Amino acid sequence: MTEPEFAEYSWDFLERGSILVVILSGPAHLRLMDPENFAAFQDGEEFDAFGGLARRAPYRIKVPHSGPWFLAIDVAGLNVRGVRHEVSVVPPQKLEQRRSGKD
């Protein structure tokens, strides 16, 4: 079995409620995983992830709890190549400032 080809982003710590904003040039599977599930994903085992199939950008994923996180950007089964991507993190404090008009 060959290992899946995917792009990987990792963070030592993301705060609960942060939003990952993903910009893509084409469709891709976005999989936000904790370290244990990411290891299972890499090994081709069963895993749990947040996210899904992104067909339009920007795609947003909310971080469910504080801790280390991995984001895999995977085009397996989509019959596409060379999807460019960019990821930014909006911390919860910034979201609150935007809601209250203090930005």
* pLDDT < 70 stretches in the chain: 1-4, 94-103
Pairing of strands 50-54, 28-33: antiparallel
Question: What pLDDT, on the 0 to 100 scale, is given for residue 100?
Answer: 58
- The edge-to-edge listing of strands for the beta sheet with 6-14 is 6-14, 67-74, 28-33, 50-54
**Nearest alpha carbon to residue 30 among 68, 83, 98, 92:** 83
Contact by Cβ (8 Å): 71, 34: no
Question: What pLDDT, on the 0 to 100 scale, is given for residue 97?
Answer: 57
Give pTM, 2 decimals.
0.84
Q: What are the residue boundaries of the structural domains of the chain, listed by start?
A: 6-100
Tokens of 53: 């199939």
Question: What pLDDT, on the 0 to 100 scale, is given for residue 74?
Answer: 92
What does DSSP assign to residue 75? -
Contact by Cβ (8 Å): 3, 22: no
Q: 10 Å Cβ neighbour count for 15?
A: 14
Question: What pLDDT, on the 0 to 100 scale, is given for residue 98?
Answer: 57
CATH of domain 6-100: 2.60.120
